[in-house]
């Protein structure tokens, strides 16, 4: 164990076309006709440990000290403003395993596919075959969350442990049981078909982190699948988990990615011609992997399982929403329902209602952030929706290249485009309706409380989305007409979503700029537009400059502000594919470089400009995304 003490304070800094804009207005009065209903203490040990101190602290201490002497010395100091960082090895991680300790489990522990009744999980061990597994990539920032010493990644047995082939001391592996709606239809029991949770780690700040191996073998929820994952989909999941965190979007994280050294057979083209591909496993990390479907499944099974719904809700509130446990009326987040009778919902009288509202608002904020950066999830089934408001389960995701509100990266979704970019806010609301319906069925919410949670979703989404678009354009206040006209123009000319907003910060708030010079700052993003379209853009730029000129903000100041919310780099599909192609040949350097770039997407990063380029022609071939996404 290492302790790292530094004097640095941890701190944080302080419509989509007319169609999309109009569709979001529905949230103010939720309707669902558009979709089918269905105090920190050191762990003191007797042995000696090494410490790492900041220079100023180390100067005052002997080079060899014991944990006891340091702890005693620190008690005498004013610790305000001092950040204490532990550096643990794998054997020193503090496992808690509350999920399996406090919730009902399956009495069986085999992986035979079956219906698992009256249980939230099944204890099951990873079973993936391995042959000299290799570490492909790692996230030091996730290791820091776990207080894991980065040097642990250099252990010869690290790939064996995180492929599941060697047990991790303290872990109690299990697969979670849940159900869900898939493409609007109730699918019944689903569960972790190839993900095995190792357990929960508590760090010195009492933060709870679950570790989960995706692709670690069969579970009772695998149905007819093999429980394995291939390198293609695993690279995408690893990179996007960390890229979304870099963008500031709530997400599950990824600690590491390892190859198994064994091939996995997959039918890439879904044409009946399967072939072998490299197998891999991602270690996913999140405060919890509880999903909407975790509650839906047990609510669907009748009164005998209603107590399980309540137990799961109590568990989530106790560990992840503790501020709701003893909320007083002075902390009330009660509000009028918006109905004609002006009746109010008192959320202090029912913690489950307060919880449902917070889940709804977290979900709304998350999806507003997706719309901000042009992210399309691709499979917004209710089993892929986190009750913590985290982006979860990266399958056929995609970021917008040219702005197309109907874009979907999921080839299965092409006929109806249910999960296309523009529909994501509506689908989020529909999913919240299913979640609150499950809680109502289990007699945890009244109908009025459920309706109120949906109403709060709509209000929160609109508030966040309007704030985001205002900041993306560097405006003083939201201007619906200006933003609506911009998005229409972007659709008409298939403008690259990311590069356009990044370039927009180059516009000067000077009404005296000659008309023929107005589009110069956007010359790299307004490509191949004719005279008529130039006139449309010139007209919009004039209105935009007029709006900017009344803010009184200096151009350079506004540019810095806009560039802090408009990323230069996003995880485009072709970038993933390039990294995949190299990795499949044994070269993991591109995966690691791409990770490094995506961890700082708002920075210029001189020398990395190639990662901000538009997709090459081959990236637009039908099926390219599908090839990368299939598991």
Catalytic site residues? 383
Question: CA 99 to CA 378: how far, in whole Å?
Answer: 29
Q: What are the residues facing 209 on neighbouring strands?
A: 201
Among residues 59, 101, 83, 199, the alpha carbon closest in space to that of 147 is found at 83
Among residues 119, 130, 488, 430, the alpha carbon closest in space to that of 294 is found at 119
Alpha helices in 148-228, H assignment, sequence order: 158-161
In this structure, is the dihedral angle defined by the CA atoms of residues 244, 250, 256 and 260, taken in order, positive or negative? negative
Question: CA 444 to CA 438: how far, in whole Å?
Answer: 9
SS (H, E, C) 123-190: ECCCCCCCCCCEEEEECHHHHHHHCECHHHHHCCCHHHHCCCCCCCCCCCCEEECCEEEECCEEEEEC
Question: CA 41 to CA 44: how far, in whole Å?
Answer: 8
Q: What are the residues facing 174 on neighbouring strands?
A: 123, 197
Among residues 238, 144, 270, 245, the alpha carbon closest in space to that of 626 is found at 270
∠ CA 235-405-531, nearest 5°, is: 115
The count of residues in the chain is 631
∠ CA 53-55-60, nearest 5°, is: 80
Question: CA 91 to CA 167: how far, in whole Å?
Answer: 11
Q: Are 21 and 480 in contact (CB under 8 A)?
A: yes
Tokens 């920075």 identify what position?
Answer: 603
∠ CA 460-22-536, nearest 5°, is: 120
∠ CA 524-491-248, nearest 5°, is: 75
Question: CA 379 to CA 24: how far, in whole Å?
Answer: 20
In this structure, is the dihedral angle defined by the CA atoms of residues 604, 257, 212 and 577, taken in order, positive or negative? positive
Q: What are the residues facing 336 on neighbouring strands?
A: 344
DSSP character for 518? Answer: T
């Amino acid at each position: 164990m290492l302790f790292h003490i530094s004097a640095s304070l941890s701190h944080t800094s302080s419509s989509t076309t007319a169609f999309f804009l109009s569709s979001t207005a529905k949230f103010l009065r939720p309707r669902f006709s558009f979709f089918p209903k269905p105090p920190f203490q050191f762990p003191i040990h007797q042995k000696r440990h090494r410490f790492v101190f900041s220079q100023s602290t180390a100067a005052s201490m002997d080079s060899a000290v014991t944990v006891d002497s340091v702890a005693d010395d620190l008690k005498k100091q004013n610790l305000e403003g001092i950040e204490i960082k532990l550096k643990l090895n794998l054997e020193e991680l503090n496992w808690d395993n509350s999920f399996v300790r406090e919730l009902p489990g399956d009495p069986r522990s085999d992986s035979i596919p079956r219906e698992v009744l009256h249980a939230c999980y099944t204890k099951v061990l990873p079973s993936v075959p391995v042959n000299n597994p290799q570490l492909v990539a790692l996230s030091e920032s996730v290791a820091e969350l776990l207080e894991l010493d980065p040097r642990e990644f250099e252990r010869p047995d690290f790939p064996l442990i995180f492929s599941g082939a060697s047990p991790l001391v303290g872990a109690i592996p299990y697969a979670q049981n849940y159900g869900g709606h898939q493409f609007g239809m109730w699918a019944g029991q689903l569960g972790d078909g190839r993900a095995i949770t190792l357990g929960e780690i508590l760090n010195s700040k009492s933060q709870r982190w679950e570790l989960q191996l995706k692709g670690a073998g069969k579970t009772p929820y695998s149905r007819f699948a093999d429980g394995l994952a291939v390198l293609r989909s695993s690279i995408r999941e690893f990179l996007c988990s960390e890229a979304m965190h870099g963008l500031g979007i709530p997400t599950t994280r990824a600690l590491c990615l390892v190859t198994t050294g064994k091939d996995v057979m997959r039918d890439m083209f879904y044409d009946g011609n399967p072939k072998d591909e490299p197998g891999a496993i991602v270690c996913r990390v999140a405060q919890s992997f509880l999903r909407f479907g975790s509650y839906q499944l047990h609510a669907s099974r009748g009164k005998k399982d209603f107590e399980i719904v309540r137990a799961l809700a109590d568990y989530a509130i106790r560990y992840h929403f503790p501020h709701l446990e003893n909320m007083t009326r002075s902390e009330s987040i009660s509000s009028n329902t918006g109905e004609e009778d002006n009746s109010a919902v008192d959320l202090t009288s029912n913690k489950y209602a307060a919880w449902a509202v917070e889940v709804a608002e977290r979900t709304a904020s998350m999806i507003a952030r997706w719309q901000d950066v042009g992210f399309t999830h691709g499979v917004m089934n209710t089993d892929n929706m986190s009750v913590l408001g985290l982006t979860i389960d990266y399958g056929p995701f995609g970021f917008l290249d040219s702005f197309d509100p109907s874009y979907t990266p999921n080839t299965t979704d092409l006929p109806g485009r249910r999960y296309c970019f523009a529909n994501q806010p509506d689908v989020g609301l529909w999913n919240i309706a299913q979640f609150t319906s499950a809680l109502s069925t289990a007699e945890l919410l009244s109908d009025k409380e459920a309706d109120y949670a949906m109403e709060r979703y709509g209000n929160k989404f609109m508030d966040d989305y309007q704030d985001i678009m205002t900041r993306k354009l560097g405006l003083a206040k939201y201007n619906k007409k200006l933003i609506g006209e911009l998005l229409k123009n972007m659709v008409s000319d298939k403008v690259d979503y990311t590069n356009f907003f990044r370039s927009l910060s180059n516009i000067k708030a000077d009404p005296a700029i000659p008309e023929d010079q107005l589009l110069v700052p956007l010359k790299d993003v307004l490509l191949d537009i004719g005279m008529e379209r130039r006139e449309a853009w010139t007209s919009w730029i004039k209105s935009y400059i007029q709006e900017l000129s009344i803010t009184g903000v200096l151009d350079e100041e506004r540019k810095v502000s806009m560039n802090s919310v408009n990323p230069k780099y996003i995880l485009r599909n072709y970038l993933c594919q390039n990294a995949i192609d190299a990795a499949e040949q044994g070269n993991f350097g591109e995966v690691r470089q791409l990770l490094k770039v995506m961890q700082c997407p708002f920075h210029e990063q001189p020398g990395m400009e190639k990662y901000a380029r538009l997709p090459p022609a081959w990236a637009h071939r039908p099926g390219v995304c599908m090839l990368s996404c299939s598991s």
